[in-house]
């Protein structure tokens, strides 16, 4: 496959974290986004971080930091749009900042099972994980239009564009999200 850009989605409000920037919360002594960065970096050629706060802290990673082009934290699709707009590659792999155990080969598996689809996302035994996705840059204009219309449903957009899920692992633990302060303390994760 040609060069790939990876984007860590860290631009949310952190409501379930009491308003804290989730990506910067310490998990096992390391900021959450850095766990994701360690797993994503070997899978792509370039890593960017989509963030809307604490930009200087994310920039200390050495990655380019991009922010939503839309106001009021409209969700992961806004981060995906910013990633598609900023990418210089045809394909962009996305991963949320709260999945510290994301499989180290999920991007390759998405690409391998993409067929002709312009969008694919990860699936585990229990459910879909649409924020772990591979999107073609041609989706930039349809996504911008979708968001302009006030739509925010990630799975709906991906399906409307002809995308499909790819089963990455039967092990749901690989896709566990760290969403709350209790999750940060839960060593069973």
User: Which residues have C-beta within 8 Å of that of residue 135, sequence separation ≥ 6?
Assistant: 80, 84, 91, 92, 94, 118, 119
| Pairing state between β 119-123 and 64-66 | unpaired
* Residue 22 in marked binding region: yes
Task: Let me know: does 155 contact 128? Beta carbons within 8 Å.
Answer: yes
- Residue 78 dihedral angles phi and psi, to the nearest 5°: -65, -40
Task: Let me know: does 9 contact 131? Beta carbons within 8 Å.
Answer: yes
Buried b (16+ CB within 10 A) or exposed e, 100-137: bbbbeebbbbbbeebeebbbbbbbbeeebbbbbbbbbb
- Cα 29 to Cα 172: distance, rounded to the nearest angstrom: 23
* Residue 105 in marked binding region: no
* Residue 14 in marked binding region: no
User: Which residues have C-beta within 8 Å of that of residue 13, sequence separation ≥ 6?
Assistant: 19, 73
* Residue 98 in marked binding region: yes
Residues of the binding site for GTP: 9-11, 22, 68, 98
Residues of the binding site for Mg(2+): 98
Residues of the binding site: 9-11, 22, 68, 98
């Amino acid at each position: 496959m040609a060069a790939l850009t990876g984007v860590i989605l860290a631009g949310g409000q952190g409501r379930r974290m009491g308003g804290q920037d989730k990506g910067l919360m310490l998990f096992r002594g390391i900021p959450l986004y850095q766990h994701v960065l360690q797993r994503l970096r070997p899978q792509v050629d370039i890593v960017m971080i989509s963030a809307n706060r604490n930009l200087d802290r994310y920039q200390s990673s050495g990655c380019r930091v991009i922010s939503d082009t839309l106001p009021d934290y409209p969700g992961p699709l806004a981060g995906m749009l910013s990633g598609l707009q900023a990418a210089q590659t045809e394909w962009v792999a996305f991963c949320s900042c709260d999945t510290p155990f994301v499989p180290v080969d999920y991007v390759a598996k998405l690409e391998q099972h993409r067929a002709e689809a312009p969008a694919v996302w990860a699936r585990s035994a229990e459910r879909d994980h649409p924020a772990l996705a591979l999107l073609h840059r041609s989706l930039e204009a349809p996504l911008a239009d979708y968001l302009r219309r006030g739509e925010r449903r990630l799975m709906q957009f991906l399906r409307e564009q002809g995308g499909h899920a790819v089963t990455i692992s039967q092990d749901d633990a690989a896709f566990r999200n760290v969403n709350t302060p209790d999750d940060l303390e839960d060593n069973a994760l």
